[in-house]
């Protein structure tokens, strides 16, 4: 059973703090192993990739089979049903349309001194997407990572996906084709991250790496950060549902389980103003677990990390939510928009009982790559801006430099940076000749 908390109880605050601080992911210390793998790939290139792939994925690579070619993709797509292709195409079109609205505008203006100021946005030249491999993979994640990159204007978009025992989900290849991925490599793990970061004889280096992975992939992304950009280090999935008693307990139960089934370390939380309703939802979760295919995973998640929190009003619910800063937030209340206006920290918000979080995982439009482990307090989900960079622009006129230059010279002197001040003073002196 999950924890049951009530803001009226005297021990609520320490129990709530303990809930927030639960360590939900006991990752093995893989940093030393990953560092060795990265060094090996940097030193030996393709040879290291082939050896590591044979060791970890039981699949023999050659220079000819490292890249998945167009014929491979077409054969895979032929095995996908029309219904699956139609669903992927609908998802891709909605994701693309949503992200096109995120494209930022260049700005340029002349200030009161006559100086021209502004900024411009340009795409990252090359990006790499990591996709977990095998048959149980997620084509939706391909769309969510690749489409924003292409909308941003990334010209070189490469994907790495391990093929353990040679297996790959054909939907992953179909999604890659729809999203505009340029190259697909049959590699995974820390070695794939290293190849994308530093390049090999056959793999082109990129400027940014995005996408989920296991502890080895996460550690590799941390270690190559600085050489390349990364999206984030994502932890176990999480959902918070705020629901009043007017909801169907079974609907809320399924929504909680939709994240619990991801991982035994996932976390599903319910905040409600009605304790009896919270008990009904918990009972509905237990009933659903008896028939759920991934009942062992979901059951462990709900038992170890789930919680039902009873609050006195929705104001309390909003305050607790900002402390939790959930990855996914469902607001199943009479006026979800008003409640959302009082919440600052959440990766994605789903308004109303007819907007289950699962719609956002696939086809809603917004990105499903979201901050976890309370990082929504300071970060955002993946977007077009993650694949763009802003360059500032400034152009002084003689008049504007005469007006603001002396202050800059003063500040340079205060920092004991003589050449800084001299570079400005030389121009000011020329104006006074």
| Residue from 327, 330, 357, 368 carrying the catalytic annotation | 327
**Three-state DSSP class for residue 321:** helix
DSSP character at residue 106: P
Q: Sort 169 into a burial class: Cβ within 10 Å, 0-12 / 13-18 / 19+.
A: buried
The tokens describing 167, both together, are 């297996």
Q: How far is CA 56 from CA 112, 173, 398, 413, in A?
A: 63, 22, 64, 59
The tokens describing 64, both together, are 């000819």
DSSP character at residue 11: T
Q: Which residues pair with 389 in a beta bridge?
A: 122
Q: Are 19 and 307 in contact (CB under 8 A)?
A: yes
Q: Which residues pair with 305 in a beta bridge?
A: none
Q: Pick from 281, 360, 333: which is nearest to 95 by CA?
A: 360
- 246 noted as active-site residue: no
Whole-angstrom distance, CA of residue 392 vs CA of residue 382: 23
Whole-angstrom distance, CA of residue 104 vs CA of residue 166: 41
- For the chain, the distance separating the N- and C-terminal CA atoms, rounded to the nearest angstrom, is 83
The tokens describing 120, both together, are 């411009």
Query: To 10 degrees, what angle do helices 295-305 and 249-260 make?
Result: 100
Q: Pick from 390, 394, 391: which is nearest to 110 by CA?
A: 394
Whole-angstrom distance, CA of residue 194 vs CA of residue 203: 10
- CA-based torsion, 185, 187, 191, 192: positive or negative: positive
- 327 noted as active-site residue: yes
| Residue from 99, 238, 264, 328 carrying the catalytic annotation | 328
The tokens describing 300, both together, are 């462990």
Q: Are 251 and 281 in contact (CB under 8 A)?
A: no
Q: What residues are annotated to the active site?
A: 327-328
């Amino acid at each position: 059973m999950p924890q049951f908390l009530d803001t009226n109880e005297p021990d609520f605050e320490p129990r709530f703090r303990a809930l927030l601080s639960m360590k939900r992911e006991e990752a093995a210390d893989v940093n030393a192993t990953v560092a060795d793998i990265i060094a090996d790939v940097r030193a030996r290139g393709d040879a290291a990739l082939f050896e590591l792939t044979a060791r970890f994925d039981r699949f023999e690579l050659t220079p000819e089979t490292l890249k998945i070619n167009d014929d491979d993709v077409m054969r895979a797509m032929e095995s996908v049903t029309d219904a699956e292709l139609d669903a992927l195409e609908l998802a891709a079109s909605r994701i693309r349309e949503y992200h096109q609205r995120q494209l930022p505008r260049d700005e340029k203006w002349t200030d009161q001194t006559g100086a021209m100021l502004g900024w411009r946005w340009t795409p990252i030249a090359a990006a790499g997407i990591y996709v977990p491999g095998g048959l149980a993979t997620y084509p939706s994640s391909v769309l969510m990572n690749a489409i924003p990159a292409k909308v941003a204007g990334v010209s070189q978009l490469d994907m790495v996906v391990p093929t353990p025992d040679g297996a790959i989900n054909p939907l992953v290849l179909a999604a890659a084709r729809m999203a505009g991925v340029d190259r697909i490599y049959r590699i995974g793990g820390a070695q794939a991250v290293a190849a994308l970061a530093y390049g090999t004889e056959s793999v082109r280096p990129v400027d940014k790496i995005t996408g989920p992975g296991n502890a080895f992939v996460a550690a590799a992304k941390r270690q190559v950060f600085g050489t390349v950009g990364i999206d984030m280090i994502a932890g176990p999935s999480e959902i918070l549902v705020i629901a009043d008693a007017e909801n169907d307990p079974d609907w809320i139960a399924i929504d909680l389980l939709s994240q619990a089934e991801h991982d035994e370390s996932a976390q599903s939380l319910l905040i409600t103003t009605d304790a009896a309703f919270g008990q009904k939802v918990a009972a509905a979760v237990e009933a659903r677990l008896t028939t759920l295919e991934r009942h062992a995973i979901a059951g462990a998640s709900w038992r170890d990390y789930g919680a039902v929190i009873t609050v006195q009003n929705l104001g309390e619910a909003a305050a607790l939510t900002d402390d939790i800063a959930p990855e996914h937030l469902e607001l199943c209340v009479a006026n979800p928009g008003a409640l959302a206006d009082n919440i600052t920290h959440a990766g994605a918000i789903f308004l109303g009982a007819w907007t289950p979080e699962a719609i956002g995982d696939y086809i809603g439009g917004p990105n499903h790559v979201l901050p976890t482990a309370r990082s929504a307090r300071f970060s955002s989900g993946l977007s077009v801006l993650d694949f763009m960079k802003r360059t500032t622009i400034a152009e002084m006129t003689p008049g504007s430099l005469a007006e603001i230059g002396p202050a800059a010279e003063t500040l340079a002197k205060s920092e004991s940076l003589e050449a800084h001040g001299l570079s400005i003073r030389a121009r000011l002196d020329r104006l006074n000749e």
